[in-house]
């Protein structure tokens, strides 16, 4: 009987062989991405562009500052590393990790050309052979981790998340694109080696993906983009780009601090387990202040050195009420994608991070509001067109 370790090794070998063949046969892996080949072609050779795979563009590179260190997990032919090279400048550094010799050879071959095209005296990209769950990188060395539909392919994602946390320096962040599913992957799909290379068999649910990252120590987890991809046997696979942070150790402070939730949620629980009620100030410690100062949180709070209650007349308070009209059940499910562990809206729905919740048409409109939309993804599980009659929301309809 095959052991777990042997099964993981077989999966890794199968995926590596498939990507190695793709260098020569041009097979598309995962789902097409939205790279701007016209722009990238100004400094990246065509041989690299044509073997670029993934499920999202490396949007995290828009946050890069000159001189930073960027790590690309699963660097392939090098496209994301070369774009990172342009962003960090000649004083920065880029590390690309890949397990496939053919991909590494291609990337290394064209690295000098890219450096020359960028006007650098030498390449600032270091391509290393390695695995996502055992990275050949020293700890606390990296400012930003990027990865494009690669962690999905790793059998042991818990180790990958731990490695990501290890190599990032305090204050560092990651922005990765990957394929996730709305429900656990069944065994018949997990044991289908071909579907591993298709980014299907290795997909985690959002709940498990976010949970694994939090268990590794990351905070401020939130989606940047979400794009529906495929539905197979009733399982919805979506491409998500998400960001998280390795926060520095919070300095102790004797000065009191108070945080007030501005909305749009009526109630929210942060990643440290603190529950906030909209408009009501709550005393918080320095660790919570640091958490709430991260980009995905800071627009939802007012932080002050004294209690600051917000009334309904305060322009900082955000309330998004549903329409007072009948609604229709159309098969939509909403998925909270962070940064909060759970939130409540003004109709009494409680959303838990990563857990699909069926919603009516009226609630769908609320979640499409600009104040709600960044925190949610939606899928439609209806397999046929819905002809349901409008209903008045209430406890009897299990709606609001």
For residue 107, the cross-strand partners are none
Structure tokens at 79: 């496209």
Report if residue 235 sits inside a domain: yes
Query: What's the rounded Cα separation, in Å, for the pair 322 and 362?
Result: 6
Q: Do residue 44 and residue 150 come from a single domain?
A: yes
CATH at residue 314: 3.40.5
Q: Do residue 206 and residue 268 come from a single domain?
A: no
Pairing of strands 342-344, 350-352: antiparallel
Tens digit of each residue's pLDDT (9 = 90 or more) over 98-117:
999 999 999 999 999 999 99
Q: Do residue 276 and residue 379 come from a single domain?
A: no
Q: Do residues 220 and 301 make contact, with C-beta atoms less than 8 angstroms apart?
A: no
Q: Find tokens 């009334």 and name the residue.
A: 311
Rg (alpha carbons) of the chain, rounded to whole number: 23
Structure tokens at 312: 């309904």
Q: Do residue 133 and residue 180 come from a single domain?
A: yes
Q: Do residue 222 and residue 348 come from a single domain?
A: no
Total domain count for the chain? 3
Q: Do residue 64 and residue 126 come from a single domain?
A: yes
Q: Do residue 301 and residue 393 come from a single domain?
A: no
pLDDT in tens, the chain (400 residues): 444 454 455 445 544 444 444 445 454 555 545 678 888 889 999 999 887 766 666 667 888 999 999 999 999 999 999 999 999 999 999 999 999 999 999 999 999 999 999 999 999 999 999 999 999 999 999 999 999 888 988 989 999 999 999 999 999 999 999 999 999 999 988 888 777 667 788 899 999 999 999 999 999 999 999 988 899 999 999 999 999 999 998 777 778 899 999 999 999 999 999 999 999 999 999 999 999 999 999 999 999 999 999 999 999 999 999 998 899 999 999 999 999 999 999 999 999 999 999 999 999 999 999 999 999 999 999 977 766 566 666 544 555 5
Q: Do residue 125 and residue 191 come from a single domain?
A: yes
CATH at residue 241: 3.40.50.150
Report if residue 272 sits inside a domain: yes
Tens digit of each residue's pLDDT (9 = 90 or more) over 262-287:
999 999 999 999 999 999 999 999 99
For residue 302, the cross-strand partners are 260
Q: Which pLDDT value is given to residue 59?
A: 67
Query: What's the rounded Cα separation, in Å, for the pair 260 and 160?
Result: 36
Three-state SS for 218-275 is: CEEEEEEEEEEEEEECCEEEEEEEEEEECCCCCCCCCCCEEEEECCCCCEEECCCCCE
Q: Which pLDDT value is given to residue 30?
A: 55
Report if residue 324 sits inside a domain: no
Q: Do residue 52 and residue 98 come from a single domain?
A: yes
Select from 212, 245, 278 the last residue of a domain: 245
Q: Which pLDDT value is given to residue 384?
A: 72
DSSP 131: B
Which pTM was predicted? 0.88
Q: Which pLDDT value is given to residue 36?
A: 80
Select from 207, 228, 245 the last residue of a domain: 245
Report if residue 325 sits inside a domain: no
Q: In terms of residue numbers, what domain contains 384? A: 332-397
Q: Which pLDDT value is given to residue 22?
A: 47
Select from 290, 319, 348 the last residue of a domain: 319
Q: Do residue 152 and residue 221 come from a single domain?
A: yes
Query: Which of 331, 334, 330, 398 lies closest to 366 in space, CA to CA?
Result: 334
Q: Do residue 339 and residue 315 come from a single domain?
A: no
DSSP 150-168: -GGG-S-HHHHHHHHHHHE
Query: Which of 52, 51, 88 lies closest to 71 in space, CA to CA?
Result: 88
Q: Do residue 227 and residue 283 come from a single domain?
A: no
């Amino acid at each position: 009987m095959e052991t777990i370790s042997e099964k993981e090794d077989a999966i890794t070998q199968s995926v590596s062989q498939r990507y190695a063949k793709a260098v020569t046969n041009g097979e598309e892996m995962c789902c097409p991405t939205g790279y701007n080949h016209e722009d990238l072609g100004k400094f990246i050779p065509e041989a690299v562009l044509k073997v670029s795979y993934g499920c999202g563009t490396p949007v995290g590179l828009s946050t890069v500052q000159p001189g930073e260190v960027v790590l690309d997990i699963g660097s392939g032919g090098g496209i994301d590393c070369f774009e990172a090279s342009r962003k960090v400048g000649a004083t920065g550094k880029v590390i690309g990790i890949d397990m496939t010799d053919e991909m590494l050879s291609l990337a290394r071959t064209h690295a000098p050309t890219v450096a020359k095209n960028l006007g650098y005296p030498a390449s600032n990209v270091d391509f290393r052979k390695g695995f996502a769950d055992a990275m050949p990188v020293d700890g606390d060395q990296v400012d930003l981790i990027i990865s494009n539909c690669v962690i999905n392919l790793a059998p042991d994602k818990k180790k990958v998340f731990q490695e990501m946390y290890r190599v990032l320096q305090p204050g560092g962040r990651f922005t990765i694109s990957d394929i996730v599913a709305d429900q656990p992957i069944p065994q018949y799909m997990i044991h289908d080696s071909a579907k591993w290379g298709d980014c299907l068999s290795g997909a985690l649910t959002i709940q498990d993906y976010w949970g694994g990252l939090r268990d590794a120590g990351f905070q401020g987890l939130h989606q940047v983009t979400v794009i529906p991809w495929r539905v197979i046997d009733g399982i919805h696979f979506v491409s998500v780009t998400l960001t998280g942070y390795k926060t520095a150790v919070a300095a102790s402070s004797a000065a009191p601090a108070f945080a007030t939730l501005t909305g749009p949620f009526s109630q929210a629980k942060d990643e440290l387990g603190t529950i906030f009620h909209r408009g009501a100030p709550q005393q918080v410690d320095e660790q919570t202040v640091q958490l709430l100062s991260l980009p995905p949180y800071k627009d939802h709070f007012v932080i002050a050195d004294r209690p600051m209650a917000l009334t309904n007349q305060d322009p900082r308070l955000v309330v998004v009420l549903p329409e007072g009209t009948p609604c229709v059940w159309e098969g939509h499910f909403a998925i909270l994608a962070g940064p909060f562990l759970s939130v409540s809206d003004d109709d009494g729905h409680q959303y838990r991070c990563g857990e699909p919740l069926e919603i009516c048409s009226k609630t769908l409109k609320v979640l499409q509001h600009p104040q709600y939309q960044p925190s949610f993804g939606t899928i439609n599980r209806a397999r046929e067109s819905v002809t349901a009659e409008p209903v008045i929301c209430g406890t009897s309809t299990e709606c609001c």
